[in-house]
Amino acid sequence: MPGKVKSRGAIVAPPAATMVEVIECVPNFSEGRRKEIVDAIVAAIMSAPGVKLLGKEMDPNHNRAVVTFIGPRLAVAEAAFRGAEKAVELIDMNVHKGEHPRIGALDVCPFVPIAGATMDDCVALARSVGRRIAEELGVPVYLYAEAATRPDRRRLPDIRRGEYEGLKEEIGTNPDRKPDFGPARLHPTAGATVVGARPVLIAWNVNLATKDVGLARRIAKAIRESSGGFPAVQAKGFELADRGLVQVSMNMLDYRKTSLVRVFEEIRKLAAQEGVEIADSEIVGQVPLAPLLEASRAHFRLTGFDDAQILELRLWE
């Protein structure tokens, strides 16, 4: 609560005189190679009054950009729509190629409650913004995670099955692929969009010092929940051609169920069994402090360490 710093992984934000409403939005766009396009999308997002940009990351191998911004719900809703509008204007899915699964120019747009807002608030926000994207931009919209209207659409990979090319063939003929909002056909250039509400997610990539993409895919299958691996972990294996490496790309859906340390050590073990080392790892976008502190405790074998020993947290207090 305001004014207190809890220990062992329950990091709280700096206190405020009054609780402000903060919602995070993390739209993913199908463009990671042309900086001018991503900059134009970010400029459109930031043209909405009341939002603050936290980060912008581009990945040329995935051909994908991740933008993170925060604000109160009305400001975030307007900013998300303006970003979608600019992406629809500038990105042509007919020529898009990249390693990451995708179905549209604005591929996915999640809303995350941070402070002064509930998950129900973000569900309502996702449905409102999703409907507006469909009605004003002519882009079919699917709702996922906590905003999903069907159990089989809670998971993003299920909605993305077949990717842009597969959805283009099925959306008008398979009733199961009918969108929640908008026409049962892809936008001519922007494809489709997924909008939802979810808790904080950690997008995390572990890169292996090999060109064997089969190894990355085998490890991804071993660790992801859907294949019998760790709870709340999604994973896929990719090639990083420009670096001569392969990647295990993950969404850590709930770090309290499965820690970063546990997954990292399992990847290290599985790679070592085939004579491969971890080259490096990277976090995409924002990350809570708690899992990084947990990793520090494990790596340094800290005993009796309390969050109250962290200087910045004491200063916030």
Residue 55 and residue 61: Cα distance in Å, rounded? 19
Residue 172 tokens read as 């008008």
Q: Do the beta carbons of residue 233 and residue 254 sit within 8 Å?
A: no
Beta strands in 241-277 (DSSP E): 245-252
Residue 246 and residue 10: Cα distance in Å, rounded? 34
Residue with tokens 């009605």: 135
Residue 70 tokens read as 């925060």
Cite the active site residues.
Answer: 100
Residue 74 and residue 125: Cα distance in Å, rounded? 9
Q: Which residues contact 270 (CB under 8 A, 6 or more apart)?
A: 218, 219, 222, 223
